[in-house]
Structure 1
Amino acid sequence: MDNDQGGREGGEGRVPRGLSLEQAQNIRRDRQLEDLTTRMDELMRMMQQGMHGNRRSQSPSPVHHPRHRQPPRDDDRGLRLDLPDFDGAMKPEKFLEWLQRMERVFDYKDYDDAKRFKVAILKLTGYASLWYENLKNKRRKDGKPSLHSWEKLKTRMKKRFLPSDFTQDMFRKLQVLQQNTLSVEEYVVEFEKINMLCDVDEKAEHKIARFIAGLDKKLAKKVDLQPYWSFEEVVQVAMRAEKYVKAKKASTFKPFVKQGEKPYSGAKKEEGMHLLLSLISLKG
């Protein structure tokens, strides 16, 4: 019996521990089936590839060009970039404001000088448009080349729409500017606006000195007592001083009322006048 079992084990291979001979044979058979299935799949795949290869050799394959994704366009959607018109009104501050607005949009759009010129002449209306057409016709009659430069157009527009003494007048106005009845905020706006119109290039300490000199005297004294290192800090100090002065005035103004009495109202005063008139008429 033992010899027969040993012979079967020798013919079929070793039986793993814990398994009977029949179980071991079933496992081996399953593995063999899996190997056969895998080989059959490989053969079928090779045959299919061979068929596709023959088809490709018979008919030309289409050429596929890779698609390049276009970068998103920056078309300024949702951003208002309206350029203002200029009608040629003789208001120097409005004209300079128009120039500054045009320059900011041109810089944002990154237009070159020639394109800036083309866009600018489209925004000329009224008298400004007539002036440009006259300038263009005069240059043609004189045999001069047409204008195609924004910088050259600006130069000619400044000569026409800015008075020759405009900058000088702004300097004079800056020298005598006083706060007077203006609030500190209103005074700062006016001071800065005139500075920019004059295009003043000066040291920070000179600008600060002119600003303080134009402040209300009480505020100027308080500002001088505070530390500051820049024009912006001086402005903040002046605004705080103004709030302090206003708060102090409000707290010191109180109507005189005796203890236990209510303030004398307008109605009470009117009633007292009626009583006085009545007494006078009775005596008469």
Structure 2
Amino acid sequence: MKIPSFQGRSDPEAYLEWEKKMEFVFDCYNYSEIKKVKLAVIEFSDYAITWWDQLVINRRRNRERPIDTWEEMKVVMRKRFVPSYYYRELYKKLQGLRQGSRSVEDYYKEMEIAMIRANVEEDREATMARFLLGLNREIHDKVEMQHYVEMEDMVHMAIKVEQQLKRGSGIRSGHNSSSTSWKPSHTKPFDKSQMSKPEPKPVTTSHVPQGKTEASTSRNRDIKCFKCQGRGHIASQCPNRQVMVLRDNGEIVTETRIPTPTKCRHWRMLARRNI
């Protein structure tokens, strides 16, 4: 059987674990006390072997009796590797221990280890109340409704409730993801012919009263054109391209060419004098 090694780290939990393993080994064999000490020292390494060697030298120098029993060796090693405040920290940890993000099983294991290392001896009902108080609210409310005789029954019920809550949350999340991730298998291609064409705007006609139309036509008849001497239009709107010139003797002369603007004004002035 292999003897566990000890490096002498400044970790009280590591030392307590090594000490417990050594006691398990010693329970398997009928070793004498001095042999237990020697077997434990054989597996010392790193700082532990240096510390033990110096301890033996100091005891010889001070003419003290050598350590020759396992119980005496545990006292000396606990004094060195387990600080005095360690047990106070364990008690404080037990008072404020809560499940939090841990599982029910991990939470119970941590509570049990802390109680064992702190040498806590309490009634079974007190331990059950301590465990129930640290559970998460949704698990605590369901576990509290049942009656328990043993601590293990309460732990198993809490684990079962936790598994049911996980299954319920998994079903809800799966249902939500399936409903949101659904998409149609196919979509119709875009058809430009289905686009709505803009309707033509209706042509609005302005309605002019009949009386106004007749008055405007009567006034147009009185208008006289100075180019063709006709009526119903002005010279700029004259359809006749011939130019008629009224001379001083009253004779009217027509020309086919288009006169310049200067001559037109002159002829208009002559025509106005004769009229």
Aligned to 2:40: 120
Residues in 2 aligned to 1:175 and 1:257: alpha-carbon distance in whole angstroms:
44
The question of whether the paired residues in 1 share the 8 Å contact of 2:67 and 2:73 is answered with yes
Which residue identity lines up with residue 182 of structure 2 in the other structure?
P
Q: Within 5 Å, give how 1:162-201 maps onto structure 2.
A: 162-201=82-121
CA 1:257–1:181: 2 relative to 1, 3 Å: closer
Is 2:25 the partner of 1:88?
no
What SS class does the counterpart of residue 110 from structure 1 fall into?
A: coil
Aligned to 2:182: 263
Aligned to 1:226: 146
Q: Deviation at 1:187? A: 1.1
Which residue identity lines up with residue 91 of structure 1 in the other structure?
D
Unaligned 5+ segments in structure 2 are 191-275
Residues in 2 aligned to 1:100 and 1:139: alpha-carbon distance in whole angstroms:
26
Residues in 2 aligned to 1:262 and 1:147: alpha-carbon distance in whole angstroms:
73
* TM-score (structure 2 length as normaliser): 0.63
Aligned to 2:163: 243
Aligned to 1:40: none
The question of whether the paired residues in 2 share the 8 Å contact of 1:255 and 1:263 is answered with no
Structure of higher RCO (CA pairs closer than 8 Å, 6+ residues apart) = 1
What SS class does the counterpart of residue 176 from structure 2 fall into?
A: coil
Residues in 2 aligned to 1:178 and 1:140: alpha-carbon distance in whole angstroms:
49
* TM-score (structure 1 length as normaliser): 0.61
Which residue identity lines up with residue 26 of structure 2 in the other structure?
F
Residues in 2 aligned to 1:238 and 1:185: alpha-carbon distance in whole angstroms:
9
What SS class does the counterpart of residue 131 from structure 2 fall into?
A: helix
The question of whether the paired residues in 2 share the 8 Å contact of 1:85 and 1:125 is answered with yes
CA 1:141–1:103: 2 relative to 1, 3 Å: same
Moved more, 244-253 or 208-217: 244-253
CA 1:256–1:86: 2 relative to 1, 3 Å: closer
Which residue identity lines up with residue 87 of structure 2 in the other structure?
T
Which residue identity lines up with residue 231 of structure 1 in the other structure?
M
Which residue identity lines up with residue 54 of structure 2 in the other structure?
N
Q: Deviation at 1:262? A: 7.7
Aligned to 1:161: 81
Residues in 1 aligned to 2:91 and 2:73: alpha-carbon distance in whole angstroms:
26
The question of whether the paired residues in 2 share the 8 Å contact of 1:84 and 1:98 is answered with yes
Residues in 1 aligned to 2:30 and 2:3: alpha-carbon distance in whole angstroms:
15
Residues in 2 aligned to 1:111 and 1:178: alpha-carbon distance in whole angstroms:
43
The question of whether the paired residues in 1 share the 8 Å contact of 2:7 and 2:48 is answered with yes
Which residue identity lines up with residue 131 of structure 1 in the other structure?
W
What SS class does the counterpart of residue 255 from structure 1 fall into?
A: helix
Q: 2:126 aligns with which of 189, 206, 229?
A: 206
Which residue identity lines up with residue 160 of structure 1 in the other structure?
R
Q: 1:133 aligns with which of 38, 49, 53?
A: 53
Is 2:22 the partner of 1:102?
yes
Q: Deviation at 1:257? A: 7.7
CA 1:257–1:216: 2 relative to 1, 3 Å: closer
The question of whether the paired residues in 2 share the 8 Å contact of 1:86 and 1:128 is answered with yes
The question of whether the paired residues in 1 share the 8 Å contact of 2:3 and 2:39 is answered with no
Cα-Cα RMSD: 2.4
Residues in 2 aligned to 1:177 and 1:228: alpha-carbon distance in whole angstroms:
22
1:8-45 C-alpha deviation (Å, 9 max, x unpaired)? xxxxxxxxxxxxxxxxxxxxxxxxxxxxxxxxxxxxxx
Identity %: 32
Return the structure number with greater helix share.
Answer: 1
Unaligned 5+ segments in structure 1 are 1-80, 276-284
Residues in 2 aligned to 1:257 and 1:100: alpha-carbon distance in whole angstroms:
53
1:93-117 C-alpha deviation (Å, 9 max, x unpaired)? 1100000000000011122222111
Residues in 1 aligned to 2:65 and 2:170: alpha-carbon distance in whole angstroms:
69
